[in-house]
Amino acid sequence: MNTLYPLKFKPLFREKIWGGQKMKSSLGFDFAPGKDIGEAWMLSGVPGSQTKVSNGFLKGNELNELLEVYMDELVGEKAFTRNKEQFPVLIKFLDANDWLSVQVHPDDALAARRKLEGGKTEMWYVLDAKDGAELISGFNRKISREFYMKNLKEKTLKNILNYEPVKKGDVFYMPAGRVHALGPGILLTEIQQTSDTTYRIYDWDRLDEQGNSRELHTALALDAIDFNVPLSYRSEYTRIKNHSVNLVESPYFHTNILDFNLPIAKDYSELDSCIIYICTGGNAELSVGSGKESISAGEVLLIPAILDKITLFPRPDCKILEVYNV
């Protein structure tokens, strides 16, 4: 069996009614013949939407095919035991040129009861945001199911949602059950459980090109919603140059940010996990064993678990999200 190496994947582009052109103008993607692209799936093991390797001798292989062959050498022993033949996380870029629908995702327990692929907890890291951009995260007060349904029926849902101003570098953790929506003018990367289950609650009364409204999932969403209100909807952090700074710790993924202008040596031997690098700015070269690989803004790189010692060389500086399983 040939030795594993840092893997890049060909993105899958998704046209959306709320999508725009920033995948091209900001991230440099060529998504022709697509028009308004809302999502770029950068690393996916979702059945029917698996990304394929774009570099090296494994080029053309789907992600879960690699998992079948390399097993814990790819993702680590704990992740392989827990997830078997499905890659545990899904990485996307999202370009919101208009409001996304107000939506919610089920947790693992509800997904299991409904025989779905799994729950969907996620996080957002904002790559760019226009002045005045905002998003929805949860409710602006503690409410009951009955009060929620009353506002939904009376079309006053917007009055009880929590709106957050957004700027570049902001982080929002979205555990399963939290009602949320992206607003216009936001470009971000999304890190989530491997699941594509979404319950649409409200879609701003808009119509598609054929004059149809999109399906709502009012009844299905009701049991998925968490009506509790946290102390803060934001994940606060302070950057420390040339050090990994934690952004989010969840049962499904840990995410750090590494903002560096000096060479950084990484030893992941204690993690028992693959590492996913998402480059959010600049570029760098990686030295892994006897091989080398590069990463630039807008690229995602999967470092197999068996490759646990890496040196990163910024050119001249770089910003990377560092994602791994727990």
Report which of 1, 3, 2, 4 is spatially closest to residue 275, judged by C-alpha positions. 4
Say if residues 284 and 258 touch (Cβ distance below 8 Å). no
- With a pLDDT cut of 90, the percent of the chain lying above it is 90
- C-alpha distances in angstroms, 214 versus 105, 206, 209? 17, 8, 11
Confidence at residue 139, expressed as pLDDT on a 0 to 100 scale: 98
In a domain, 46, yes or no: yes
Report which of 175, 181, 168 is spatially closest to residue 126, judged by C-alpha positions. 168
Q: What end-to-end distance do the CA atoms of the chain give, in Å?
A: 27
Residue 271: exposure state from Cβ atoms within 10 A (0-12, 13-18, ≥19): middle
Query: Are residues 312 and 171 located together in one domain of the fold?
Result: no
In a domain, 3, yes or no: no
User: Which of the listed residues 192, 222, 252 is the one where a domain comes to its end?
Assistant: 222
297-301's contacts with Cβ under 8 Å and 24+ in sequence apart are 297/27, 297/28, 298/26, 298/27, 298/28, 298/29, 298/93, 299/8, 300/8, 300/9, 300/42, 300/43, 300/91, 300/276, 301/6, 301/7, 301/8, 301/276, 301/277
Query: Are residues 60 and 163 located together in one domain of the fold?
Result: yes
Phi, psi for residue 110 in degrees, rounded to 5: -65, -40
User: Which of the listed residues 190, 222, 254 is the one where a domain comes to its end?
Assistant: 222
Query: Are residues 192 and 103 located together in one domain of the fold?
Result: yes
In a domain, 238, yes or no: no
Question: Chain-wide mean pLDDT for the chain?
Answer: 95
Residue type for position 25:
S
pLDDT interval class at 82 (50, 70, 90): confident
Confidence at residue 291, expressed as pLDDT on a 0 to 100 scale: 85
- With a pLDDT cut of 70, the percent of the chain lying above it is 99
- Two tokens at 168? 């570049």
Query: Are residues 179 and 64 located together in one domain of the fold?
Result: yes
Confidence at residue 1, expressed as pLDDT on a 0 to 100 scale: 52
Domain span holding position 285: 244-324
In a domain, 196, yes or no: yes
pLDDT interval class at 95 (50, 70, 90): very high
Arithmetic mean of pLDDT, 209-236: 94
Query: Are residues 45 and 101 located together in one domain of the fold?
Result: yes
In a domain, 67, yes or no: yes
The pLDDT tens digits of the residues spanning 1-19 come to 568 999 999 999 999 999 9
Report which of 284, 272, 287, 282 is spatially closest to residue 5, judged by C-alpha positions. 287
- Two tokens at 103? 């939506």
Burial 164-181 (b: 16+ CB within 10 A, else e): bebeebbbbbbbbbbbbb
Query: Are residues 215 and 264 located together in one domain of the fold?
Result: no
Query: Are residues 192 and 279 located together in one domain of the fold?
Result: no
| Cα Rg of the chain, angstroms | 20
Confidence at residue 79, expressed as pLDDT on a 0 to 100 scale: 86
Beta pairing, strands 52-53 & 161-165: unpaired
In a domain, 236, yes or no: no
pTM for the predicted model, two decimal places = 0.96
DSSP class of residue 214 equals P
Query: Are residues 208 and 255 located together in one domain of the fold?
Result: no
Query: Are residues 255 and 199 located together in one domain of the fold?
Result: no
In a domain, 191, yes or no: yes
Query: Are residues 168 and 248 located together in one domain of the fold?
Result: no
Confidence at residue 209, expressed as pLDDT on a 0 to 100 scale: 76
Confidence at residue 83, expressed as pLDDT on a 0 to 100 scale: 78
The pLDDT tens digits of the residues spanning 177-197 come to 999 999 999 999 999 999 999
Query: Are residues 184 and 250 located together in one domain of the fold?
Result: no
Query: Which are the catalytic amino acids?
Result: 200
- Two tokens at 282? 């600049």
Backbone region of residue 290 per phi and psi (left: phi > 0; alpha: psi in -120 to 50; beta: other values): alpha
On the CB side of 281, CA atoms within 13 Å amount to 15
Query: Are residues 107 and 210 located together in one domain of the fold?
Result: yes
Cα of 91 vs its chain's centroid, Å: 4
How many domains in the chain? 2
In a domain, 232, yes or no: no
Instruction: Give the CATH number, domain containing residue 312.
Output: 2.60.120.10
Confidence at residue 293, expressed as pLDDT on a 0 to 100 scale: 95
User: Which of the listed residues 156, 187, 222 is the one where a domain comes to its end?
Assistant: 222
